[in-house]
Structure 1
């Protein structure tokens, strides 16, 4: 089964260009060692929430941006084999990165919904949420129905991933980011758009339609703890 390494990263605003440069340098190396694709996007429309939000997920500081990205692998075995090779490669020296790795959150996920034709994209809406583990099937049904709405309003792809290897961190981690309970699983999701203009236009239609759609397709998770934002794609290797 396909495997996704998802991450959320705090980036000092003054280091944005350096972060983009490093992301573009590292992506081909991940591909060289077996990754199917690598995407990095920088926060553009990332709201602050009442209970949780993307900024707090990485203990964001004043003047920092938040990056959202993922690496696609053929399966978990390919990911583990590729990472083992990269650990021995001097090009993967992480001692001078443009972000605080101690506050980066990351985890392994398996796609359970992947709808839409895909193709080139320049903007993504990214989401992290906690879903009652026993409600996995209801979550998948809900997301497939929601994907129909999203694609109808201009998105090119809608992906929902179920957490299978989401480690605890010393400072931050995915579970704390969404206040996940012991009986909940963390999910990592995104929607691809051609560009920001298409996203802004599409989002208006989605919000209007979802008000009615949610009556027939209620969310099988606590939406108050969902964290999300809009991100400009700065590096994509596929």
Structure 2
């Protein structure tokens, strides 16, 4: 089964080019260690929330921008081996220091439980993180599988829902605190890939209107008020 390493980071906005240079250098290391795809997307339409949001998830400051990204592997074994090798890979030293506060980056491993769409060169990403009662896993998968075609019909390239499989607790921030997850809940990390923001904006209104009706027969099996979401421009994408 494919495996995803998802992450959310707060980057000083002034360091955008430094971050991009760092990300491009990191791509070579990740690919050498088995990554099949790496994506970094820069915050573009990330709203402030009432209960939770991406900013609070990583304790972002006023002069920082949210980055949403992920690394795809063929399976968890490949990812685990890559993580172990990364600690001793000389290529990591060549990348240099991270141009952001790594202590506030949240990350973890997820298994894709829904993956629909042919994919393609994405220019824009809608990212989501939330918490689902663990007992509702099958309901979550069923709900997501029914909703995904709505996005694809409106021009989305791919819809992926990731279920937490290896998400660590952090000292400063983590995915659990990001969505105020409770002890009996599991975190999900999901995204919708679009060709560009214009396509996403045009389809979003239609999708949300239809989902209001759709939800009566297929309600969200989790607390949507604690889900965090936002739109991001893809600034770095690499395939193996």
TM range (shorter): over 0.9
Aligned-pair CA distance for 1:91: 2.2
Structure 1 residue runs of 4+, over 3 Å off?
none
Please name the residue that 2:105 is paired with.
104
Q: Is 1:48 equivalent to 2:48 in the alignment?
A: yes
Please name the residue that 1:27 is paired with.
27
SS of equivalent residue, structure 1 residue 62: coil
Aligned-pair CA distance for 1:208: 1.6
Q: Is 1:10 equivalent to 2:6 in the alignment?
A: no
- The normalised TM-score by structure 2 is 0.97
Farther-moved stretch of structure 1 (157-166 vs 19-28):
19-28
Contact persistence 1:59–1:103 (CA under 8 A): yes
**Count of residues paired in the alignment:** 238
SS of equivalent residue, structure 1 residue 102: helix
Farther-moved stretch of structure 1 (206-215 vs 225-234):
206-215
- Structure 2: stretches of 5+ with no match in the other structure: none
- The normalised TM-score by structure 1 is 0.98
SS of equivalent residue, structure 2 residue 104: coil
Please name the residue that 1:125 is paired with.
126
Contact persistence 1:28–1:237 (CA under 8 A): no
Please name the residue that 2:73 is paired with.
73
| Alpha-carbon distance between aligned partners in 2 of 1:165 and 1:85, rounded to the nearest angstrom | 17
Please name the residue that 1:163 is paired with.
164
What are the within-5 Å matches in structure 2 for residues 1-238 of structure 1?
Answer: 1-93=1-93, 96-238=97-239
Aligned-pair CA distance for 1:24: 1.3
RMSD: 1.0
| Alpha-carbon distance between aligned partners in 2 of 1:42 and 1:8, rounded to the nearest angstrom | 10
| Alpha-carbon distance between aligned partners in 2 of 1:98 and 1:161, rounded to the nearest angstrom | 27
SS of equivalent residue, structure 1 residue 167: coil
